[in-house]
Amino acid sequence: MSKRPSTQPPLAAEAFSLPVRVYYEDTDAAGLVYYANYLRFCERARTEWLRSLAFSQQRLMTDEGIAFVVRSVEARYRAPARLDDLLAVVSRISRLGGASLEFDQKIYRKEELIFDARITIACIDIAGQRPAPLPPALRIRLLPSAQS
C-alpha cells in the first residue's frame, strides 16, 4: 500500500486535491470504476484547480482564444475503486513548458494509492489549432512562489 508523499515539494504550484465520490454511473458491469472514468476524474481535478486559481476554461476560450488539449497519457491502475468510495484526486505540475503543462495525478482511497498518471496538456490557439503560449497571468499563478 503506497502512501501519499508528504516531503517532496512540487516543481510548480502547490498540489491540488479534489474529493470525488464514486457513483453507480461510474462503475462497470463488475461493480468497479470503469477504467476511462479515472481519466475523467483527473480532467475534473485539473479544471477545478484552474477554477481555484480564478481561471475558468470558458473564460480562457472566449477571452484568450485558447484551450487545453491532452497530448499524452501514461497511466497505471493499481487497485480498483468501487461504488460509494470517497477518492482524492491529487494533482501536481511536474513540468511547466512554454505551451504545455505536465501533470502528475494520483488517485487515493484514504491513504491507498489506486491510480497514477502523467498527463501532458498542450495549450492551443482555438482559431489556428496550433500551440499557443500559456497566458502570462496563468503562468505566474502556476509558478512556485520562490520563482515568481
Q: Report, as residue numbers or ranges, the catalytic residues.
A: 28
**Phi-psi domain of 15 (left: phi exceeds 0; alpha: psi -120 through 50; beta: other):** beta
| Cell 517532496, residue located | 8
Q: Indicate the residue type of 143.
A: L
Quickly list H helices, 16-147: 35-52, 57-59, 136-142
CB 17 within 8 A of CB 44: no
Quickly list H helices, the chain: 35-52, 57-59, 136-142
